[in-house]
Amino acid sequence: MKHIIIALLLLLVISCSDNPTTVHFNNVNRTYLHAYDFARNFFIIDTSYKSVIEEYYKLGYIPQAVAPLRIKEIEVWESNNNFNDSSVTFIGIAFADLETKKYLMGERYNESLLHIPPTSGIVEMSNFVKLDSSKYTIDYNLGILHLKELKYDRYYAVSYRVDGATKVSDDDEYYGTMSNLANPKDTLILKLIYRPNLLPAYRTLWQRQLKNYYSFDTKDIDVNKTDVKMYYIKHINDTTDVLDSLPDKLVTILGVDRLNNSTGNPVPDGKFDWYHPNFYKEEGIIIFPSLQPFNEGLKSYFQKINRNDLIEKYIFPEVYYNTYEEARSNTAKDRFLIVIETEK
pLDDT, tens digit (0-9, with 9 covering 90-100), for 219-232: 667 788 888 999 99
Instruction: Kindly write down the DSSP assignment for every residue of 38-100, as one continuous string.
Output: --SSEEESSTTHHHHHHHHHHHSS--GGGGGG-EEEEEEEEE---TT-TT--EEEEEESS---
- Residues of the chain above pLDDT 90, percent: 68
Nearest CA among 321, 227, 342, 343 for reference residue 333: 321
Residues 97, 46: Cα–Cα separation, whole Å: 8
Beta pairing partners, 23: 30
CA 324 vs CA 186, 211, 270, 315: distances in Å: 38, 11, 30, 16
Residues 63, 17: Cα–Cα separation, whole Å: 41
Q: How many residues does the chain have?
A: 344
Q: Which residue has the higher pLDDT, 132 or 217?
A: 132
Q: Where in the chain does DSSP place strands (E)?
A: 21-25, 28-34, 42-44, 71-79, 90-95, 123-130, 136-139, 144-147, 156-162, 173-175, 187-194, 213-215, 226-233, 239-240, 279-280, 285-287, 336-343
**Looking at residues 87-92, what average pLDDT do you find?**
80
Tens digits of per-residue pLDDT, 254-274?
999 998 888 888 888 889 988
Tens digits of per-residue pLDDT, 42-69?
999 999 999 999 999 998 899 998 999 9
**Which range, of 66-70, 194-198, 248-252, 275-279, averages the lowest pLDDT?**
275-279
Nearest CA among 98, 171, 99, 91 for reference residue 126: 91
> 3-class DSSP state for residue 227?
strand
Per-residue buried b or exposed e for 239-274, using 16+ beta carbons within 10 Å of the residue's own CB: bebbbeeeebbbbbbbbbbebebeeeeeebbebbbb
CA 339 vs CA 30, 37, 147, 213, 331: distances in Å: 6, 12, 24, 14, 19
**Which range, of 7-11, 153-157, 261-265, 279-283, averages the lowest pLDDT?**
7-11
Q: Which residue has the higher pLDDT, 154 or 27?
A: 154
Nearest CA among 202, 210, 173 for reference residue 96: 202
Residues 155, 124: Cα–Cα separation, whole Å: 8
